[in-house]
Amino acid sequence: MRTPREPRRVLVAGGAGFVGSHLCDALLARGDEVICLDSFLTGSHRNIAPLTNHKRFSLIEHDICEKVPVRGRLDRIYNLACAASPPHYQADPIHTMMTSVVGTKNLLDLAQTSGARFLQASTSEVYGDPETHPQREDYWGHVNCTGPRACYDEGKRAGETLCFDLLRQGRVDARIVRIFNTYGPRMRADDGRIVSNLIVQALSGDPLTIYGTGRQTRSFCYVSDLVAGLVALMEVDENPAAPVNLGNPGEFTILELADLVMDLTGSHSAITFRPLPADDPQRRRPDITRARELLGWQPRVPLAEGLQPTIAYFREALSQVPATPHKPIAPPVRRRPRTPDSVLAGGPA
């Protein structure tokens, strides 16, 4: 008689974030034991509230820039820990870069000592403002290393470098996914990203903010499709030893997205144009041939379909704070861990 397999012990860094919490749901549903690690810089207790009493779920509040306090056997480590929307990752750019470099190294060290397989959430931002279209994984990118997005773009590029060096040295079975724009329930209303901004503005009757002409493009992947791809890449037997794009190749201008959001919300909001942020990529669309061939993966949820539960989520979230108008993004306040320098200098912790 077959004995049921022992649950896999899986660490999800960034597990209380938008994508991370959906990943925790999916892993629990497939029978894994999930340790969710999050600093709550941009993650939220609300995202994981339904999981807190689950017998295979545990939570550790921790910033991966510090050594990771997890002991015992680990089978899988997913690293999704990093602020990912431009306003949030630019609010504390040094911490963003350290999260992608020092934080990733800390998790890779844990993968090495525990023998866990490792999946690094990288990003389409490694392509910068791309000169080729659509973006294939063998394109090296066009990134301004001194611009305001560099803390994230270059941090994630360095994170990939660390993974590949440890992979080449045979020390960690590291896999890298380059995630393109993803949306769905549990995005933060104050995320500052296009999908959340437009929906919240449309539902609140505020003007929809379009940066630049609105003719720049993005490709939007629904979160359940992305999560299926993350698990597929982690579980594929042979390490592809190459980064894998995950995203929905459907490409829309920002104005087209605004029209769709207006239709689906029934909003009569006006549109207001604002200056284009520095280094804002003009076109973005993933070539997902590699994911199709290696993982048999492709997205299933078209944009108009995925926007509906996303709008429903924000409608519900906004109904719980009726007196609070949607405000432009304020930089998040980060609780600073006590660092050796501040201790030595006797400064405030």
Q: Which of 78, 89, 152, 222 is labelled catalytic? A: 152
From 44-52, 101-109, 139-147, 272-280, give the range in contact with ligand UDP by CB under 6 A.
272-280
Contacts of 154 (CB under 8 A, 6+ apart): 97, 143, 145
Q: Is 176 exposed, middle or buried (0-12, 13-18, 19+ CB in 10 A)?
A: buried
Token pair in block for residue 52 = 């807190």
Q: Which parts of 46-105 interact with ligand UDP (CB under 6 A)?
A: 85-86
Which position has the token pair 């910068």?
Answer: 128
194 binds ligand UDP (CB under 6 A): yes
- Give CA–CA dist 29/49, Å, rounded: 16
Q: Which residue lies nearer to ligand UDP by CB, 161 or 272?
A: 272
- Give CA–CA dist 196/203, Å, rounded: 11
248 binds ligand UDP (CB under 6 A): no
Is 152 noted as a catalytic residue in this protein? yes
The only residue of 21, 47, 79, 216 in contact with ligand UDP, by rule CB under 6 A = 216
From 135-143, 207-215, 223-231, 239-247, give the range in contact with ligand UDP by CB under 6 A.
207-215
Beta-bridge partner residues of 210: 273
From 130-138, 208-216, 220-228, 230-238, give the range in contact with ligand UDP by CB under 6 A.
208-216
Please report, for residues 164, 183, 195, 274, the alpha-carbon distance to residue 198 in angstroms, rounded to integers and kept in the order given: 37, 12, 5, 14
265 binds ligand UDP (CB under 6 A): no
The only residue of 39, 99, 106, 181 in contact with ligand UDP, by rule CB under 6 A = 181
Backbone dihedral angles phi then psi of residue 207, each to the nearest 5 degrees: -65, 140
CB of 210 to ligand UDP, least distance (A): 5
Q: Which residues bind ligand UDP (CB under 6 A)?
A: 85-86, 181, 193-194, 197, 209-211, 216, 218, 254, 276-277, 280
Residues with a catalytic annotation lie at 152
